Amino acid sequence: MKAFRLLSMALFVLALGIGATSCKTVNDADIQSAAQALLAANPDLAGVMVTVTDKVATLTGTVADDSMKAYAESTIAGVENVKSVVNQIEVVPPAPDYTALDAAINAAFPDLLKDYKTVTATVKDGIITLSGDIKEKELTVLMEKLNALKPVQIVNNLTVK
């Protein structure tokens, strides 16, 4: 009987020890920290945040293209203990660069406006803004010349006389 009790106690202690060491619980905060560290390692994912609830990672924020959105999802799906990924990242392409267009339009202004002494024009991001005074019969010709420069838009603030 003593042997049985001793054996039972030994098995109980062994089971308790195995149970205590194998029940390593991973909390959501640890998973989130690991996932955020992976995102922080890639500058293209600087606009992406991750939250983890019940081992489900939710991605939010913005990236420049669909490939970066897919990359962020696959990266987080590979984090240990992540069950699934909800990808709510928005793709927002970068704004176009109008530097070359602005330079070309600015270079054309002196010659184009030489006959219109009371008209001033500026360009920013491909948008030409007109101000000053112009005769009604001259307006159509001026607009045709400006449209030939292929701006994004022409804002006409001219006073027609």
* Helix, strand, or coil (residue 130): strand
CATH label, 99-160, candidates 3.60.20.10, 3.30.1340.30, 3.40.50.2300, 3.40.50.300:
3.30.1340.30
pTM score, two decimals? Answer: 0.60
Distance CA 44, CA 66 (A): 12
CATH for the stretch 25-91 = 3.30.1340.30
Q: Please check whether the two domains, 25-91 and 99-160, share a CATH topology.
A: yes
Distance CA 133, CA 30 (A): 67
Per-residue model confidence (pLDDT) at position 7: 46
Residues of the chain with pLDDT under 50: 4, 6-8, 10-12
Per-residue model confidence (pLDDT) at position 6: 47
Domain-by-domain residue ranges, the chain?
25-91, 99-160
Residue 104's identity, in one-letter code, is A
